[in-house]
Amino acid sequence: MSAAIEVSNLAKVFGGLRAVDGVTLHVAPGERRALIGPNGAGKTTLFHCVTGTLLASSGQVRLFGHDVTHLPDYRRTELGMGRTFQITNVFTELSLAENLVLSIIGTDRRKWIMHQPLSAFPAIREQALAGLEAVGLADRSDQPVKLLSYGERRQLELALALNTNPKVLFLDEPCAGLSPGERARIFNMVRALPRDITVILIEHDMDVALGLADRVTVMNRGRVMAEGTPEDVQANPEVRDVYFGHA
C-alpha cells in the first residue's frame, strides 16, 4: 500500500539559502502527521513544494505513488491535495457562500458553465451552506468576508480546504492567532475528520499538534531532525533542546 505522501530528498533553494535541505518523509494513508519546528525551519516552504505553490529545486514528491513533483498546484489539487495557508488566503471581496461555492466546484467540471446562473444549481448552494455550517458560519453565509473577524476567517480558510474533496489535507498553522475557544473548535473539527482523509499539519501549539498527531516530524534548519510518536518526540533530548533549551 503506497504512502499517501512520499517526499524524497526534497530541497528548495533561494539564492544562497537552502530553505529545505534534503527532506524525506513518508505519510501513510489516513495518518495524522504533525510537522513541528522553530520558526524558519522550512515547514511552510516544504508545504509549498509538496502542494505545488512552489516548485522544488530537487527531489521528488509522490501522491499515492503518483509522481507530482513537476505538476502545477491546481493539478495537484485535482489529484486530491487540499491546503490551508499560514497567512489567511480567502476571498475577502466575495460572500462566505461564494467562497465555499468556489471551493466546491474547483475540482468539478461545472466551474466552466457560462450559460446558466449559479442559482440554477441549488444543490451547490446547499453544499456550500452545509460546509459553512460545519465551521459554524452558516448564519453569515451571504455577508462579505471582509466583515469577518480574524478567527472567523481562519475557520473559513479551513472550510475552503475541506470542500475541495481532498484525500490529503495540508493545514498550515490552522490555529494561529485564535482564541482558546476557537482553537478547541478547530481541534475538534480536525479530530472528527474521517480516516479516508490523510492530515498533515504544521502547528506551533504543542497541545494541538501532539493531541491530534499519530506521528510527529520535527524540522530544524531545513532538515528533519527527529521523527516518531508524540511521546518519542517529546522525550527526545535534541528536540527539547531546540524548543526549550536554547536562549
Q: Which one of the spans 111-119, 174-182, 198-206, 217-225 is the region binding another protein (CB under 8 A)?
A: 111-119
Does residue 129 touch another protein according to CB under 8 A? no
3-state helix, strand, coil in the chain (%, to 5): 40, 25, 35
Show contacts with another protein in window 140-199 (CB under 8 A).
Answer: 142-144, 160, 164
60: amino acid identity, one letter: Q
CA torsion through residues 188, 195, 135, 154, sign: positive
Tell me which long-range contacts 178-183 makes (C-beta under 8 A, separation of at least 24): 178/150, 178/151, 178/154, 179/151, 182/151, 182/154, 182/155, 183/208
Does residue 244 touch another protein according to CB under 8 A? no
- In angstroms, the Cα distances linking 134 to 29, 131, 160, 177 are 24, 5, 11, 20
Q: Which one of the spans 8-16, 30-38, 66-74, 189-197 is the region binding another protein (CB under 8 A)?
A: 66-74
Cβ neighbour number for residue 194 with a 10 Å cutoff = 6
User: Which of 1, 114, 123, 247 is the binder for another protein (CB under 8 A)?
Assistant: 114
Q: Which one of the spans 15-23, 98-106, 188-196, 207-215 is the region binding another protein (CB under 8 A)?
A: 98-106
SS3 206: helix
Q: Which is nearer to another protein, 105 or 216 (CB)?
A: 105
Q: Which is nearer to another protein, 111 or 240 (CB)?
A: 111
Binding footprint of another protein on the chain (CB under 8 A): 51, 53, 72-74, 77-78, 83, 85, 89-95, 97-98, 101-103, 105-107, 110-119, 121, 124, 142-144, 160, 164
